[in-house]
């Protein structure tokens, strides 16, 4: 498990998770914002629903990774994937599986 995923898991399980991920969504680079949205999907669904609306029409580019492949895509396209492919749940399952 990467150091970034370990840090995500540790923060996600902490007592300050909700507030920390809200701050991350507001201040991080775009990739950090996407990780924050994944966490907020579970920690505060209301905030998640409002926050994700900001990104649905964005033309900004984001780097994504699947397996050993990495590519760039429009942020608005990646946000569609959040709902269609249930990315937050997939990330949580990946983290839970890798920590066993």
The model's confidence at residue 81, banded by pLDDT at 50, 70 and 90, is confident
Under 8 Å CB-to-CB from 13, ≥6 apart: which residues? Answer: none
Closest CA to 57 of 34, 76, 74, 73: 76
pLDDT at 11 over 90: yes
How many domains does the chain divide into?
Answer: 1
The model's confidence at residue 89, banded by pLDDT at 50, 70 and 90, is confident
pTM of the model: 0.79
Domain span including residue 45: 3-98
Identify any residues that bridge with 67 across adjacent strands, giving them in sequence order. Answer: none
Yes or no: say if 39 and 12 are a contact pair by the CB < 8 Å rule. Answer: yes
The model's confidence at residue 8, banded by pLDDT at 50, 70 and 90, is confident
Percent of the chain surpassing pLDDT 70: 91
């Amino acid at each position: 498990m990467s150091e970034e995923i370990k840090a995500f898991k540790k923060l996600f399980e902490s007592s300050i998770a909700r507030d920390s991920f809200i701050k991350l969504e507001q201040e991080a680079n775009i990739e950090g914002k996407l990780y924050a949205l994944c966490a907020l999907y579970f920690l505060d669904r209301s905030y998640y629903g409002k926050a994700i609306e900001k990104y649905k029409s964005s033309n900004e580019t984001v780097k994504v990774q699947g397996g050993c492949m990495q590519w760039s895509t429009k942020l608005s396209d990646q946000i569609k994937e959040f709902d269609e492919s249930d990315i937050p749940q997939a990330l949580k399952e990946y983290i839970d599986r890798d920590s066993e």
